[in-house]
């Protein structure tokens, strides 16, 4: 048998064995039963590892397909779609909204498949499976289940905890669990798997002890606000725990920031030295669910794509563009300037920008070959867009194989940069500001990597104290289009809902026009709000619409979801 030393090889191997469903009818449905759960399958270490390989892609497919950016970025206001996905853009998502339904099912699909992996490994793993591999595989499934529940509780609030779907196939009494008890559950789960995961990935892309400790840093920072001792403050014990785990990952994991920010999204960036957890995608034609479909929705035109290019109306919001240093407001209707922040170019495409790593189809009158390296077009008119760049990797020839909705590049779920910013925020804690030397050092590692100068007083050169607003802004800039900003706002909402509403309601999410001072390679951009589209520029976030509603279809199948939540044991 071929020596199996690659997670991506295993992902390909598992497909003929089990075509796991990518979409469930409802969250209580029994996961599919097929060859991979057969008693004859889990007999070797290789088979067990092949069985858990799908937990890194197929079970997350529906989340990655649209929920990733719909919730994380459209809902938070870092990006918008002018004509599609408007429920999350306008913050009026209903219980009947299609994307709301798909997102709910996506996370419960991860839960269900993780549960079945645990059941099957415990039931069928034979003597040929080493204890270490069995322990690792179960830890991977528990890790994925905990991460999925983190998304569920932050989006929908009270949700039912299910650890074995087979126990609930005919159960009509299932109740929601309280938010604090869901957080206790996922924290216990993540703490339980820390010592069952290796310090070095068994195969590139598999989670490690440091992936779990990074999640614990994230969990505890959020729980510090949820389980606070008073309005507007955070639990100091949990802040200390977030700081502790972030420091351990920074010090012990062996991960490092990539020197250039843009390299984080230049293919092939998969499983680079900054990464702590990625969804693992492969280009495998005719094997639906193991590939990355998200670039199809971001490519602004088929000129840079592979028969798709459905992202022509997706863009950075006006609010997002205003966050970049050097892009200044001129009255209420104009932004103008340039920025040294390399994250803008790596995250969004402005007219005239060039990208040598992406091939663009052009008329023969432009280039006799019919193609060139990408120059972002300046389309003119009263409306154009700051297109999405992150996860856009180009044509098949640019990545060694791609097709419509079939891309090979991974999706980030956690990077080392987050650990630096978690540490800084945990040190800040309940103070108005901090000049803690380590917090400033860690913050500036992220800040200066983007091409900006260290945070300091321009006159005296003295360090500027860190505040919540400074750290929050840095997180927005660092992780835009990585499904992070919304969850930062939910974390804030746990202990200071009015500030979360203020941030959201101050955003402009409307249409605008972009002009350049030169084409290509401009040095200054001018953004001007359209004169004819004056409605739907802002939202009204409040206690009534901040959480997503449980889909009506799910309540009809499980009516006890309308009853008051109970604590999980």
In the beta sheet, which residues pair with residue 529? 512
Structure tokens at 185: 């559950």
Question: Is residue 328 assigned to a domain?
Answer: yes
Question: Is residue 98 assigned to a domain?
Answer: yes
* Boundary residue ending a domain (407, 433, 466): 407
d(CA 56, CA 20): 13
pLDDT single digits (tens) 96-108: 988 899 899 999 9
**343 and 258 in one domain?**
no
**364 and 301 in one domain?**
yes
Q: What HEC string does 119-149 produce?
A: HHHHHHCCCCCCHHHHHHHHHHHHHHHHHHH
pLDDT single digits (tens) 90-147: 999 999 988 899 899 999 999 999 999 999 999 999 899 999 999 999 999 999 999 9
**104 and 165 in one domain?**
yes
Q: What is the structure's pLDDT at 1?
A: 34
Q: What is the structure's pLDDT at 246?
A: 99
CATH number, domain at 152? 1.25.40.390
Could you tell me if 416 and 274 are in contact, meaning their C-beta atoms sit under 8 angstroms apart?
Answer: yes
Pairing of the two strands 334-337 and 387-388: unpaired
Peptide bond into 487 cis (omega under 30): no
- pLDDT reading at 16 higher than 50: no
DSSP 357-422: EEEEE--TTT-TTSEEEEE-----SS----EE-TT---SHHHHT--BTTBB---EEEEEHHHHHHH
Question: Is residue 478 assigned to a domain?
Answer: no
Question: Is residue 190 assigned to a domain?
Answer: yes
- pLDDT reading at 335 higher than 70: yes
d(CA 348, CA 365): 28
**135 and 13 in one domain?**
yes
d(CA 537, CA 519): 29
Question: Is residue 417 assigned to a domain?
Answer: no
Nearest to 40 by CA among 69, 7, 18, 10: 18
**324 and 184 in one domain?**
no
Q: What is the structure's pLDDT at 457?
A: 84
C-alpha dihedral sign at 540, 542, 545, 547: positive
What are the φ and ψ backbone dihedral angles of 176, each rounded to 5 degrees? -70, 155
Q: Where are the beta strands (DSSP E) in 19-108?
A: 79-81
d(CA 372, CA 131): 54
Question: Is residue 442 assigned to a domain?
Answer: no
- pLDDT reading at 411 higher than 90: yes
Range of 332's domain? 294-407
d(CA 37, CA 123): 9
Distances (CA, A) of 118 to 52, 123, 153, 310, 373: 10, 8, 22, 38, 47
Question: Is residue 529 assigned to a domain?
Answer: no
**79 and 17 in one domain?**
yes
**201 and 316 in one domain?**
no
d(CA 534, CA 511): 9
**356 and 262 in one domain?**
no
Q: What is the structure's pLDDT at 14?
A: 47
pLDDT band at 168 (very low <50, low <70, confident <90, very high): low
The domain total for the chain is 2
pLDDT single digits (tens) 62-84: 999 999 999 999 999 999 999 99
Residue 283 DSSP code: -
**262 and 302 in one domain?**
no
pLDDT single digits (tens) 547-565: 999 999 999 888 999 999 9
**303 and 263 in one domain?**
no
Nearest to 427 by CA among 467, 464, 463: 467
**259 and 311 in one domain?**
no
DSSP 143-177: HHHHHHHHHHHHHHSSB---S-GGGGTT------B
* Boundary residue ending a domain (407, 438, 460): 407
- List Cβ neighbours of 511 (8 Å cut-off, separation of 6 or more): 82, 383, 529, 530, 533
In the beta sheet, which residues pair with residue 349? 387
Residue 331 DSSP code: T
Question: Is residue 12 assigned to a domain?
Answer: yes
* Boundary residue ending a domain (373, 407, 441): 407
Other CB atoms within 10 Å distance of the CB of residue 544: 7
Looking at 262-313, list the stretches that DSSP marks H as alpha helix, in order from N- to C-terminal side: 294-298
Q: What is the mean pLDDT of the chain?
A: 92
Structure tokens at 88: 């999350």
Question: pTM for this structure?
Answer: 0.94
More confident residue, 463 or 524: 524
- pLDDT reading at 276 higher than 50: yes
**319 and 260 in one domain?**
no
- pLDDT reading at 35 higher than 50: no
The 3-state DSSP composition of the chain as helix, strand, coil percent (nearest 5) reads 45, 10, 45
Structure tokens at 264: 């984080």
């Amino acid at each position: 048998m071929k020596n199996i030393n690659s997670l991506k090889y295993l992902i390909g191997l598992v497909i003929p064995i089990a075509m796991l469903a990518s979409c469930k009818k409802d969250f209580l449905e029994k996961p599919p039963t097929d060859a991979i759960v057969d008693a004859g399958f889990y007999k070797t270490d290789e088979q067990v590892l092949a069985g858990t390989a799908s937990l890194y892609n197929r079970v997350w497919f529906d989340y990655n397909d649209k929920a990733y950016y719909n919730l994380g970025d459209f809902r938070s206001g870092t990006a918008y779609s002018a004509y599609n996905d408007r429920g999350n853009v306008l913050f009026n998502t209903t219980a009947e909204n299609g994307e709301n339904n798909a997102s709910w099912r996506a996370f419960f699909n991860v839960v269900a498949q993780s549960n079945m992996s645990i059941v099957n490994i415990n039931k069928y793993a034979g003597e040929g499976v080493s204890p270490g591999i069995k322990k690792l595989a179960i830890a991977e499934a528990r890790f994925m289940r905990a991460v999925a529940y983190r998304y569920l509780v932050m989006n929908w609030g009270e949700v039912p905890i299910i650890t074995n779907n087979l126990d609930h196939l005919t159960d009509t009494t299932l109740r929601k669990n309280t938010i604090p008890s869901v957080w206790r559950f996922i924290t216990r789960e993540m703490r339980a798997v820390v010592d069952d995961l290796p310090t070095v990935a068994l195969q590139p892309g598999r989670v490690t002890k440091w992936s779990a400790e990074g999640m614990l840093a994230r969990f505890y920072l959020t729980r510090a606000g949820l389980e606070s001792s008073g309005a507007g403050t955070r639990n100091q014990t949990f802040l200390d725990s977030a700081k502790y785990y972030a420091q351990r990952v920074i010090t012990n994991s062996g991960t490092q920031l990539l020197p250039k920010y843009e390299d984080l999204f230049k293919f092939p960036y998969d499983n680079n030295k900054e990464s702590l957890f990625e969804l693992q995608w492969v280009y495998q034609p005719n094997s639906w669910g193991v590939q990355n479909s998200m670039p199809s929705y971001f490519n602004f035109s088929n000129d840079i794509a592979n028969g798709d290019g459905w992202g022509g109306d997706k863009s950075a919001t006006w609010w997002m563009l205003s966050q970049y240093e050097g892009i200044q407001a001129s009255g209420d209707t104009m932004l103008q300037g340039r920025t040294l922040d390399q994250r803008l170019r790596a995250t969004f495409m402005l007219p005239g920008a060039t990208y040598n790593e992406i091939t663009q189809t052009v008329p023969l009158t432009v280039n006799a070959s019919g193609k060139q390296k990408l120059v972002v077009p300046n389309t003119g008119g009263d409306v154009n867009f700051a297109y999405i760049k992150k996860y856009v990797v180009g044509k098949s020839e640019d990545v060694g194989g791609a097709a419509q909705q079939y891309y090979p590049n991974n999706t980030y779920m956690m990077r080392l940069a987050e650990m630096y910013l978690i540490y800084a925020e945990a040190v800040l804690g309940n103070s108005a500001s901090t000049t803690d030397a380590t917090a400033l050092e860690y913050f500036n590692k992220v800040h200066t990597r983007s091409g900006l100068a260290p945070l300091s007083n321009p006159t005296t050169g003295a360090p500027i104290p860190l505040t919540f607003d400074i750290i929050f802004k840095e997180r927005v800039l660092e992780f835009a289009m990585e499904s992070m900003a919304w969850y930062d706002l939910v974390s804030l909402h746990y202990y200071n809902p009015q500030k979360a509403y203020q941030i959201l309601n101050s955003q402009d999410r409307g249409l605008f026009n972009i002009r350049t001072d030169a084409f290509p390679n401009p040095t200054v951009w001018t953004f001007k709000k359209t004169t004819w589209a004056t409605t739907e520029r802002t939202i009204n976030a409040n206690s009534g619409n901040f959480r997503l509603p449980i889909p009506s279809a799910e309540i009809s199948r499980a009516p006890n979801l309308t009853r008051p939540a109970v604590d999980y044991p």
